[in-house]
A and B are shown apart, each in its own frame.
Chain A
Amino acid sequence: MRRLLARYLIASTVILLVSGFLGVLIRGSQAGVGKLDDNTWYALMTAHGLGAFVGWAGFAVMGLALWVLDELGYELRRAGRVLAQATWWLMVTGVAGVLISTIAMHFAGSWVFLYPLPFHGAQQWGRWATAVFSFSVLLAGLSIVTWCLAILHTVVGPTLHAVKSSLANRLGVALGLGYLWPKRFATNPTPVAYPVIPLTVIGIDMIIATLPLAVLLVEMIVQAFSPGVHVDPLLAKNVLWFFGHPVVYLLLFPAVAVYYYLVPKLAGRRLVAGNVIAISWAIAVIANVTVWAHHIYIDYPDHSHQATINVFMQPITFALVIPSALSLYSLGLTIYRSDWRWGVVETSLFLGLFSWLTAGLSGVVNATIAFDKVVHNTLWIVGHFHQMAIVNIGFVVFAGIYYVLPNVYDKPLWSEALGKWHIWLTFVGVTVNSGFWLWQGLNGAPRRFAELPSGYEASTRAALPFVAMIGFAQVLFVINMVQTLRGAERRVVTVPRDNLLYAVEGMITFLAIILAVGAGAAGFFLGRATAEHSSGGSGVTTSKTTTAQAAPSPGRAIFASAGCGGCHTLVAAGAHGTVGPNLDAAKPPLALVVDRVTHGKGAMPSFQGQLSALQIRTVATYVAAATAR
């Protein structure tokens, strides 16, 4: 177990560093620092999303879950060991494949690869990239399935002490049903340990959720080479989210198992939990696979049943609040008035619980259809899940690492103080950065925009110092890990704690906060100044098409409002689209522009219905004149 756990934690931490770095690059580019070209931006977003979500947070808690079971006496048996090894290899290969298909082969279908987008790469990526990407995600999916099998095989083992021997009954015991029906799901001598319950729930659910996605991924690999094969896009969307929702809980539920195990241990008392907690997990095992449509509340095509499905999924999603609400109650009150030491592990777990609460509350907003219609696909969602993934799940991962180093590997932490700095700086950085995202989302800022519409520059730049703070904190983490693993002499502050030291510490902390806030404010005002300069007004005009000239001509206004700049480059109009021909290079004559805009050709649509003949003439004259120079 020691070696297996180390492999999971080391691999996932390497993936964190790589995908975290990509995250800093794309957020920086959005703020105008180190501008990336659009397809690179979307390709890095794809790699960042899958890498950080599944390859870091998911992978790490999968390893910690196996360790928790081992600590509770549920040793991996032979088949379980083979499955756990296979899980590791499948995940590492899958993540490597995702990195290759995105960074080297330019696949930029986003990490939800919404069908049929992977087959419409706009000449940026081809079928091989789609095939390699789909295959890599399939490997990661299979990795999840083998992990589930390893978990289920382990929990139904002899340590469960189930009285009845049928597999169904033992699964029921592992789900905690013995707390509700002690006779039917009898155990002897002790009832099932709490951390086993969420692991059994997710072990069952992820198998159910992953298999349909696996079929879709195989279809995508086939379609990459036989373009005649198709799937209904709405069905594909449902299949994607049928997996996409439970995979969120592939992060949360194992993290809950770690909380259930570590919090009582560190608080020095049993988990404060009544039998009622078993009810919440019985709800979870069913609700987890019946709430997927809350990700597609805004889909309600004519003559489909999607709207009906969506309406039913709001109450079911609300039911999923119950496991979180009861767990937070139990864990919070286990810490309440306990001998909680506030070391790095305790701090990390405590801040994790707080973030679970606040990120859960923004999740309730997304779960409510009436609210989702104004926040769906805005940066609000991005704020919600970054907070959930990094400072809730991620803090369980960090707490796990800080805990196992001395307790499992006999490697006392090189510096506890540095560990606390890592946790606190990450907490502040992520919370503030997510706060900016939530705020921008409420103000309509769309997500997945390589370049945000104008008007959001100020808050994007203000957030940047906090992004840098998150990155810097991980550097501290790496230094601490390297020193600890090298067995460097422990750094313990032996200076007597007099008032002078407290004063100096206080001053340094104060200066650091002032510096971060100052940098944020500078970014805010700089961003606002540039926004005012470039757009000259409010509204979601794309800054791309509104730079350069001061007084827009009527032709230029039509060029901008009809969206010509989305596809074409025309420097005079500040347009840099790369989908259609570059107008500056093509220098089309007036008659040709009129003809193309009126009748369209190939990918170019006809604008006859949308623009009047006079408007077409005006925009054509503008284009011809602007490129003739």
Chain B
Amino acid sequence: MSGTDLTILIAYGATVVVATVATLGVWISTRSKRPVDAHRLAEFEKRWLLIVVAILVALLAATIWFTPYGKSTPANAQVVTVGARQFFWQVNPARVRVDRPVAFVTRSSDVNHGFGIYKGHRLVAQIQVVPGKSSTLVQTFHETGVYTVLCLEYCGLGHAGMRTTFEVTK
């Protein structure tokens, strides 16, 4: 699990707990026979709208900077060409240096594929490989060892077996 995965797990887990408590609150409230002021609740909906908008704006402001887009290939990058075809990868060269950016220039010669880089069970980075265009994923590895490539876009019969490895060395 990556740091991002952990962030998702904690944030999602916490909001689900809040949601569950609120739901149980409504459930228990149906035992009560006290009348409600429906008009006041409807009026409060405006404030609820503002709260929701504020939360969404905050989430947007906190996350929009972390898109994978617009990373130009640095001058010192190691360029790796990645060929994708039903149902195999051709990664060349299959050995790169640690702590130096790698530009994976991916191309597909048939259908859509997904170039997904794994270290163990951690999905390190991914990019869709659309036929007819090149797609470049820039990634710097800070950990040496063998990385596995899986296909993360369904591409037909051999999709699950479409895998290869490359190595990050000192």
A residues in contact (CB < 8 Å) with B: 38-39, 42, 108-110, 114, 116-117, 120-122, 124, 232-234, 237, 269-270, 272-274, 276-277, 279-280, 296, 298-304, 307, 310-311, 314-315, 318-319, 321-322, 325-326, 329-330, 332-333, 335-340, 342, 350, 353-354, 357-358, 361-362, 364-365, 368-371, 373-378, 438, 442-453, 455, 538-542, 544-545, 561-567, 575, 577-579, 603, 605, 607, 609-610
Chain B 33-51 near chain A by CB (<8 Å), digits 1 or 0: 1111010011101101100
Whether the pair A117, B66 counts as a contact (CB closer than 8 A) is no
Answer yes or no: B158 CB below 8 A from chain A CBs: yes
A318-B56, A374-B2, A609-B92 known; A540+B112 contact, CB < 8 A? no
Question: What is the chain A residue whose CB lies nearest that of B2?
Answer: A374
Query: Separation in Å of the B147 CB from the closest CB of chain A?
Result: 10
When A and B form their complex, what is the total count of cross-chain residue pairs whose Cβ atoms lie within 8 Å?
Answer: 305
Whether the pair A321, B67 counts as a contact (CB closer than 8 A) is no
Whether the pair B160, A542 counts as a contact (CB closer than 8 A) is yes
Whether the pair B60, A370 counts as a contact (CB closer than 8 A) is no
Whether the pair A377, B153 counts as a contact (CB closer than 8 A) is yes
In the docked arrangement, what's the CA distance between A446 and B8, Å? 17
In the docked arrangement, what's the CA distance between A315 and B57, Å? 8
Whether the pair B49, A449 counts as a contact (CB closer than 8 A) is no
Whether the pair B118, A539 counts as a contact (CB closer than 8 A) is yes
Whether the pair A579, B157 counts as a contact (CB closer than 8 A) is yes
Answer yes or no: B101 CB below 8 A from chain A CBs: no
Give which listed residue, A322, A369, A375, contacts B8 with CB less than 8 A: A375
A319, A353, A542 pick with most chain B CB within 10 angstroms: A542
Whether the pair A335, B46 counts as a contact (CB closer than 8 A) is no
Whether the pair A443, B56 counts as a contact (CB closer than 8 A) is no
Answer yes or no: B76 CB below 8 A from chain A CBs: no
Give which listed residue, A110, A296, A314, A368, contacts B128 with CB less than 8 A: A296
B residues in contact (CB < 8 Å) with A: 1-2, 4-5, 7-9, 11-12, 15-16, 19-20, 22-23, 26-27, 29-30, 32-36, 38, 41-43, 45-46, 48-49, 52-53, 56, 59-60, 63-70, 83, 85-94, 110-112, 114, 116, 118, 120-123, 125-128, 130-136, 148, 150-165
Whether the pair A318, B66 counts as a contact (CB closer than 8 A) is no
Whether the pair A451, B160 counts as a contact (CB closer than 8 A) is yes
In the docked arrangement, what's the CA distance between A563 and B148, Å? 11
Which 6 A-B pairs have CB atoms at the shortest separation, nearest pair first? A566-B161, A370-B66, A301-B133, A307-B69, A448-B154, A609-B92
In the docked arrangement, what's the CA distance between A339 and B161, Å? 56
Whether the pair A318, B158 counts as a contact (CB closer than 8 A) is no
Whether the pair A566, B162 counts as a contact (CB closer than 8 A) is yes
Residues of A within 8 Å of B159, CB to CB, are 42, 448-450
Whether the pair A540, B121 counts as a contact (CB closer than 8 A) is yes
Whether the pair A374, B41 counts as a contact (CB closer than 8 A) is no
A326-B49, A332-B26, A335-B26 known; A374+B90 contact, CB < 8 A? no
Whether the pair A563, B156 counts as a contact (CB closer than 8 A) is no
18 examples of A-B residue contacts, CB within 8 angstroms? A108-B157, A120-B156, A273-B45, A302-B136, A333-B36, A337-B33, A337-B34, A339-B30, A350-B27, A369-B63, A370-B63, A376-B126, A446-B152, A539-B118, A540-B121, A540-B148, A579-B157, A610-B90
Whether the pair A443, B1 counts as a contact (CB closer than 8 A) is yes
Give which listed residue, A450, A540, A603, A610, contacts B92 with CB less than 8 A: A610
Give which listed residue, B59, B83, B120, B125, contacts A368 with CB less than 8 A: B59
In the docked arrangement, what's the CA distance between A296 and B157, Å? 22
A234-B133, A566-B162 known; A364+B49 contact, CB < 8 A? no
Whether the pair B66, A369 counts as a contact (CB closer than 8 A) is yes
A370-B4, A610-B90 known; A377+B152 contact, CB < 8 A? yes
A538-B120, A566-B88 known; A321+B56 contact, CB < 8 A? yes
A375-B8, A444-B121, A566-B163 known; A108+B156 contact, CB < 8 A? yes
Residues of A within 8 Å of B164, CB to CB, are 561-563, 610
Question: What is the chain B residue whose CB lies nearest that of A442?
Answer: B5
Query: Separation in Å of the B169 CB from the closest CB of chain A?
Result: 15
Residues of B within 8 Å of A540, CB to CB, are 118, 120-121, 148, 150, 163
In the docked arrangement, what's the CA distance between A371 and B5, Å? 8
In the docked arrangement, what's the CA distance between A507 and B138, Å? 58
Residues of A within 8 Å of B148, CB to CB, are 539-541
Residues of B within 8 Å of A443, CB to CB, are 1, 5, 121
Give which listed residue, B19, B30, B121, contacts A337 with CB less than 8 A: B30
Whether the pair A114, B153 counts as a contact (CB closer than 8 A) is yes
Query: Separation in Å of the B4 CB from the closest CB of chain A?
Result: 5
Whether the pair B114, A298 counts as a contact (CB closer than 8 A) is yes
A298-B126, A314-B64, A565-B161 known; A610+B69 contact, CB < 8 A? no
Whether the pair A314, B60 counts as a contact (CB closer than 8 A) is yes
Give which listed residue, A42, A332, A455, A610, contacts B157 with CB less than 8 A: A42
Residues of A within 8 Å of B26, CB to CB, are 332-333, 335-336
Whether the pair A270, B38 counts as a contact (CB closer than 8 A) is yes
Query: Separation in Å of the A570 CB from the closest CB of chain B?
Result: 12
Residues of A within 8 Å of B65, CB to CB, are 370
Question: What is the chain A residue whose CB lies nearest that of B27?
Answer: A350
In the docked arrangement, what's the CA distance between A15 and B131, Å? 35
In the docked arrangement, what's the CA distance between A270 and B123, Å? 49
Whether the pair B122, A444 counts as a contact (CB closer than 8 A) is yes
Query: Separation in Å of the A40 CB from the closest CB of chain B?
Result: 10
Whether the pair A567, B8 counts as a contact (CB closer than 8 A) is no
Query: Separation in Å of the A370 CB from the closest CB of chain B?
Result: 4
